[in-house]
Amino acid sequence: MKKTGVILLIGVGWMIAAFTHETPLPGSTAALGRKLFFDPILSRTYTISCASCHQPAHAFADTSAVSTGIFNRKGKRNTPSAMNTRLQVSFFWDGRASTLEEQALIPIANPDEMGLPVDEAVARLQKNKYYRTAFKQLFHENPSRENLAKALAGFERTLETNDTPFDDWRLHENEAAVSAAAKRGFALFNGKAECIKCHFGPDFNNVEFRSIGLFDGKQLNDSGRAAITHRATDLGKFKIGSLRNIAQTAPYMHNGMFKTLAEVIDYYNDPDKVVPHSINRDTLLQKPLSLTNREKQDLEAFLRTLSGKEM
């Protein structure tokens, strides 16, 4: 039988991905990054790849509140989508990385995720004939921290969404692309629901960090951005993420505490009902929105139009 693709070698509880000599070499940096993104060679135990937590079927996010890494270790925060990152200026919920290249290497070394020091990951790639050849072909040098980061970031930059029903409606003036409920929801998004104050632009996000009231110092004690800046004013603040493909990326928030979009909308409608003693909540959320049930449904209908074709 002819050998093609990836051979999975099972031994001592480890799964090792090895490309055969017949596997075509990638023709671009992004194509190389894609292979690396799906290859568990970058994890300590050869069992976890980037795609283990950033799943294509879920807009490159995860379906768990927090993801599971090597040795079944649980992460600290919800896995955000790896899509629509090209225009972002910071990464991770607390913004600790300022470039995609910087972001790409951090999960590899994180002991709760892939758990492999980056220098060891590079050494593996240098010993692997397929990857050594691929890196030399594309970068004219052996694998390194820098070109590993460039390859992974190059792939992530290809994961852009602009083929949604919303885009068809607003950019291409196809009135039939979305429902009447979604159109009402879009009006609410820009008006009564006040979503537009934090979610705007081509990806419906923002470069700011905001506290939406999910910190109370007790059950909810992730200090967020403050752990990076050490400023009391940043307590409980988190990155404002893109809303593109939001219907595919449940559960929601930095801790995955809301399972559905309806729960998210209910929270924003009246945060005090969910977290009555929040600390440092943004002034935008001081008063209930007083959305009716129909308005909540219309708002959700609009958010669902932001999903593109399945990857």
Same domain, 232 and 93: no
Q: State residue 165 phi and psi, 5-degree precision.
A: -55, -35
**Does residue 230 have a known ligand-binding role?**
no
The span from the CA of 201 to the CA of 218, in Å, is 35
Question: Does the residue 12 lie in any domain?
Answer: yes
Under 8 Å between Cβ of 108 and 85: no
- Does residue 264 form part of some domain? yes
pTM reported for the whole predicted model? 0.90
Give the HSE-up count for residue 62: Cα atoms under 13 Å, Cβ half-sphere: 22
Residues 124 and 217 in one domain: no
Q: For position 9, what pLDDT does the model report? A: 32
| Residue whose C-alpha is closest to residue 213's, from 300, 167, 279 | 279
- Choose the final residue of a domain: 98, 128, 156: 156
Quote the DSSP letter at residue 238.
E
Interval 24-72: pLDDT, tens: 999 999 999 999 999 999 999 999 999 999 999 999 999 999 999 999 9
Q: Are strands 6-11 and 14-19 parallel, antiparallel or unpaired?
A: antiparallel
The answer to whether residues 221 and 301 belong to one domain is yes
- 108 and 81 assigned to the same domain: yes
**CA pair distance 43, 129, nearest whole angstrom:** 18
pLDDT in tens, 250-289: 999 999 999 999 999 999 999 999 999 999 999 999 999 9
50 among the known binding-site residues? Answer: yes
Tell which of 122, 156, 190 closes a domain: 156
- The enclosing domain of 53 has a CATH number of 1.10.760.10
Tally the domains of the chain.
2
Say if residue 58 carries a ligand binding annotation: no
Does residue 152 share a domain with residue 171? no
In a domain, 311, yes or no: no
Last residue of a domain, one of 91, 125, 156: 156
Question: Is residue 310's pLDDT more than 80?
Answer: no
| Strand ranges (E), the chain | 6-11, 14-19, 209-210, 238-239
Q: Are residues 214 and 114 in the same domain?
A: no
Q: Which domain holds residue 85?
A: 6-156
